């Protein structure tokens, strides 16, 4: 693939947000400072709500479901737990599981998933992120050369398959499929590629979501039934990890494929009201605020007294921001711990995602910090 072709994809991903038709569901968490009944509880679920964007006809039913669920979450008498449980408030895991059960139904068909521990990360393959080497070379400009070099040095492991002249033909589709399988192997060896990892198992996606420090993490649901980007990997001795992760890919090179003789998928996606977007639901877990009226009243009194002293006011505000960051971190650490425990009850463990020897050791070391 030429530098120019990859630049076309990169430019589209940077300037257009039209590949996915997205509905966002937000689970809002508020911190709890004063909780004498249960000191270990650091947060509670404040709400679950769905955004108004997204034009897919299925989104209306999903919004209605989320509204009904939020009514239950907002009802203080309905905690989402059995009466015998000491916990109060709704479980994040329970809400996620409810969404999984609904969205995976045949009438919705959101049957592939991706977990991200950092919510602000864009859903793009690593080859199209803004990586640059010390000489100032942009990664996506050098990708094809890197691919060729790997093939020259390790021909027994990787075949080089040249990007074809795109046209609407079975031959072109066959070449792109074969090239995609080689890209999947390169991704297995941790090269940045134009493939986006997804999985058919939502709980595997959850494991990825909690694998590392969390900051507004999100679980994405995809309906891949009508997209040519979807690609399943072939089963080989080299892709144990992909099989363990129930993995598949969205191949972003296919954005250049022809949907008509002179029209690429990118051209079609740029059109208003096009029908080729991938329906996506993004379920995000967001930290909202502290749940203490007394704190708010105290802050108002302090601010009133500090109005005459700007330096002191700035100092107090900076300390307050540090406290918010600390509380936020504590809340997400607690979310991570509880999700990990719940997944373990269902026999899902992060170690199982990395069956290869090197990956197992690397992941195990992530659990220890200085």
How far apart, in whole angstroms, are the C-alpha atoms of residue 214 and residue 118? Answer: 6
Q: pLDDT of 11-44, one tens digit each?
A: 999 988 899 999 999 999 998 876 556 666 788 8
- Mean pLDDT value across residues 277-285: 98
303 in a structural domain = no
Reference 184, options 238, 260, 141; nearest CA is 238
Q: pLDDT of 324-341, one tens digit each?
A: 577 899 999 999 999 999
Q: pLDDT of 147-180, one tens digit each?
A: 999 999 999 999 999 998 888 788 898 999 999 9
In b/e form, how buried is each residue of 74-98, taking b as 16+ CB within 10 angstroms?
eeeeebbeeeeeeeebbbbbebbbb
pTM: 0.83
274 in a structural domain = yes
Number of domains in the chain: 1
9 in a structural domain = yes
305 in a structural domain = no
330 in a structural domain = yes
312 in a structural domain = no
- Each as own residue / partner, the long-range contacts of residues 124-128 (CB below 8 Å, 24 or more positions apart, any chain) are 124/13, 124/196, 124/252, 125/192, 125/193, 125/194, 125/195, 125/196, 125/250, 125/252, 126/192, 126/193, 127/6, 127/192, 127/193, 127/194, 127/252, 128/6, 128/9, 128/10, 128/13, 128/194, 128/252
Q: How far is CA 298 from the centre of its chain?
A: 38
In b/e form, how buried is each residue of 39-59, taking b as 16+ CB within 10 angstroms?
eeebbbbbbbbbbeebebebb
275 in a structural domain = yes
354 compared with 321, residue with greater pLDDT: 354
Whether 85 shows a pLDDT value over 60: the answer reads no
Other C-beta atoms within 10 Å of 203: how many? 18
Range of the domain at 255: 3-287+323-367
36 in a structural domain = yes
């Amino acid at each position: 693939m030429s530098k120019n072709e990859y630049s076309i994809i990169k430019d589209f991903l940077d300037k257009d947000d039209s590949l996915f038709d997205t509905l966002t569901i937000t689970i809002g968490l508020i911190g709890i400072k004063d909780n004498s009944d249960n000191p270990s509880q650091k947060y509670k679920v404040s709400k679950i709500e769905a955004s108004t964007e997204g034009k897919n006809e299925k989104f209306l039913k999903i919004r209605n479901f989320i509204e009904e669920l939020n009514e239950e979450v907002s009802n203080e008498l309905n905690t989402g737990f059995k009466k015998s449980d000491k916990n109060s408030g709704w479980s994040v895991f329970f809400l996620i599981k409810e969404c999984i059960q609904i969205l995976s139904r045949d009438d919705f068909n959101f049957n592939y998933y991706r977990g991200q521990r950092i919510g602000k990360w864009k859903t793009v393959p690593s080859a199209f992120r803004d990586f640059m080497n010390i000489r100032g070379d942009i990664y996506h400009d050098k990708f094809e050369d890197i691919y060729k070099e790997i093939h020259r040095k390790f021909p027994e492991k990787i075949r080089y398959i040249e990007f074809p002249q795109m046209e609407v033909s079975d031959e072109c589709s066959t070449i792109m499929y074969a090239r995609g399988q080689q890209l999947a192997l390169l991704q297995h060896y941790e090269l940045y590629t134009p493939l986006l990892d997804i999985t058919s198992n939502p709980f595997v996606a959850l494991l990825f979501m909690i694998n590392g420090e969390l900051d507004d993490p999100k679980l994405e649901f995809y309906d891949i039934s009508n997209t040519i980007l979807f690609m399943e990997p072939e089963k080989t001795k080299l892709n144990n990890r992909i099989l363990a992760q129930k993995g598949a890919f969205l191949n972003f090179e296919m954005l250049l494929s022809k949907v008509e003789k002179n029209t690429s998928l990118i051209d079609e996606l740029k059109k208003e009201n096009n029908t080729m977007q991938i329906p996506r639901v993004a379920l995000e877990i967001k930290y909202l605020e502290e749940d203490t009226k007394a704190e708010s009243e105290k802050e108002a009194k302090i601010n009133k007294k500090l109005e005459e002293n700007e330096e002191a006011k700035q100092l107090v505000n900076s300390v307050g921001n540090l406290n918010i960051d600390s509380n936020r971190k504590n809340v997400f650490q607690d979310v991570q711990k509880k999700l990990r425990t719940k997944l373990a009850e269902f026999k899902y463990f992060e170690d199982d995602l990395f069956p290869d020897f090197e990956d197992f050791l690397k992941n195990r070391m992530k659990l220890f910090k200085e």
